[in-house]
Amino acid sequence: MFFLQNIISNKNVCTKIYYFVKTMAGKKKIIFVVNPISGTTRKSGICKLIENNLDKEYYDFSIVETQYSGHASEISRDAKDRGVDVVVAVGGMEL
């Protein structure tokens, strides 16, 4: 599993993920872990950007919002156990 921390800082996020994962064979599973209260802006725009632009032919993805401190770590461990290929942290959290 690959961890991409804090990659979602601009509108080129889908392009960055595409180039990072494109060399991996087969359809890949990605989980975007969103901390909805981190930083100074709301993350709803980023979630829509992901949903509208990530190529569903190549990626199965889900977007999960953290609910409490340490939740991102739990989500990441669970993703590893389920064979998720990429975990992307959206917001100011540590995995």
Tens of pLDDT, residues 13-35? 556 666 666 656 678 899 999 88
Strands 2-5 and 86-90: parallel
| Vertex 72: Cα angle to 78 and 44 (nearest 5) | 115
Are the CB atoms for 55 and 25 separated by under 8 Å? Answer: no
Distances (CA, A) of 17 to 27, 69, 70, 80: 13, 26, 24, 18
Tens of pLDDT, residues 40-53? 566 667 788 888 88
Against a cut of 0.85, is the pTM above it? Answer: no
